[in-house]
Amino acid sequence: AGTRMKLLITGGSGFIGSALILDLLENSPHEVVNIDCLTYAVCPLSLDAAAGHPRYAFEAIDIRDRPAVARALDRHRPDRIVHLAAESHVDRSIADSDAFIQTNVVGTHHLLEAARDYYETLHGAARDAFRFHHVSTDEVYGSADAGGRFTEHTPLSPNSPYAASKAAADDLVRVWHGTYGLPTLTTASTNNYGPRQHPEKLIPRIIIDALAGRPIALYGDGRHVRDWMHVEDHVRALRRVTEHGRVGERYNIGALAPKTNLEIATLVCDALDTLVPNRGLGSYSGLITFVADRKNHDRRYALDPSRIMRELDWHPERGLEDGIRDTVQWYLNNARWINDALGLAGA
């Protein structure tokens, strides 16, 4: 880990990618090249702190453009590819799946093919060192039974267009290792939360709606369970796997902090009640309402992280209550980021 590497990160301008890049620039010797086409999901302010850093470079590249991806690999000659670029929102995928198939499936295929060509040009130590790290999600396994947790051997059984596109990408990566010998690593993590997450996702949406006095809309009965992980814990896991993971392996990154959506909404409202008292109108939790369910909504996600804990000495460190309070505080301090992410004037 002490040796300096060049990491080419796809989707580095998004929620998890920006957290990874800021961490690498601050806490590692590595060089970072970010290739991202800056979709609607990106707030340009997210990487303000990285701009101009001597170990950081950005290129506006769409992974749906295969020649552009190949040229970027030739030009930058990375030691690692860390692939995060994706369309990431389940509700959008249900409304219109096209971009999900194009970016998550076809874009991943382009990247694998470009990586295979690039890998062929490597020799000796550079060839031994090269890795392709694919970043995936717990959603590829589908819904978990009460009490059960998915391991790396659980068959993929996705239930949304988004999850199906990620599962297809996971399979492509596995096959490019098995068939062509590309040295791949795959990680699947549970739901992330933290600073710079797009307002379309549950926790930022609760914060922003509550502050605006709008209803906090929970789908169905609000009893769907997610295993919430602070993005900092995920970023530490990604670094462990990128640097030390075993080639060809899959690692599940679980937080071991399962909560229903109603429990999450209540925790966020408790944090808001303390930080921004609601002028005698009572708790923000009074805004919680139940609305029509998401189609084919997975009831419960849960991963078994024993492998990464045992082999790579990683474990989740951030407590949920504390992490949610910090996240609420971050959104309170970053109104400009929120307006910008929402595309509002005056950003």
Decide: 104 and 39 in contact? Cβ < 8 Å. no
Is 139 catalytic? The answer is: yes
For ligand NAD, which stretch binds (CB under 6 A), given 5-13, 145-153, 208-216, 295-303? 5-13
Decide: 173 and 112 in contact? Cβ < 8 Å. yes
Residue 18 as a binder of ligand TDX (CB under 6 A): the answer is: no
Please tell me the distance from the alpha carbon of residue 106 to that of residue 68, in angstroms, as a whole number: 14
Residue 189 as a binder of ligand NAD (CB under 6 A): the answer is: yes
Is 113 catalytic? The answer is: no
Decide: 235 and 133 in contact? Cβ < 8 Å. no
Residue 168 as a binder of ligand NAD (CB under 6 A): the answer is: no
What 3-state DSSP class applies to 34? strand
Among 28, 71, 152, 219, binds ligand TDX (CB under 6 A): 219
Q: Is 112 left (phi over 0), alpha (psi -120 to 50) or beta?
A: alpha
Among 30, 50, 107, 331, binds ligand NAD (CB under 6 A): 107
For ligand TDX, which stretch binds (CB under 6 A), given 22-30, 83-91, 115-123, 126-134? 83-91
Residue closer to ligand TDX by CB (options 60, 291) is: 291
Output the smallest distance, CB 278 to ligand NAD, in A.
Answer: 28
Among 6, 64, 71, 109, binds ligand NAD (CB under 6 A): 64
- Sign of torsion over alpha carbons 61, 86, 265, 319: negative
Q: Which does residue 186 touch among ligand NAD, ligand TDX, none (CB within 5 to 8 A, set by kind)?
A: none
Residue closer to ligand NAD by CB (options 231, 287) is: 231
x-or-dash string of contact with ligand TDX, 40-79, rule CB under 6 A: ----------------------------------------
- Sign of torsion over alpha carbons 89, 90, 95, 100: positive
Tokens encoding 298 = 């997975």
Residue 17 as a binder of ligand NAD (CB under 6 A): the answer is: yes
Question: Which residue type sits at 212?
Answer: A
Catalytic residue, candidates 62, 139, 170, 227: 139
Output the smallest distance, CB 306 to ligand NAD, in A.
Answer: 18
Judged on CB neighbours under 10 Å (0-12, 13-18, 19+), 328 is: buried
Any idea which residue has 């991202």 for tokens? 36
> Would you state the torsion angle of the CA atoms of residues 165, 166, 170, 172, taken in this order, to the nearest 10 degrees?
30
Residue closest to 199 by CA, chosen among 85, 41, 49: 41
Is 162 catalytic? The answer is: yes
Residue closer to ligand TDX by CB (options 182, 267) is: 267
Please tell me the distance from the alpha carbon of residue 48 to that of residue 230, in angstroms, as a whole number: 21
For ligand NAD, which stretch binds (CB under 6 A), given 59-67, 108-116, 266-274, 328-336? 59-67
Q: Where in the sequence numbering do the catalytic residues fall?
A: 138-139, 162
For ligand TDX, the binding residues (CB under 6 A) are 88-90, 137, 139, 191, 201-202, 205, 217-219, 224, 226, 261, 294
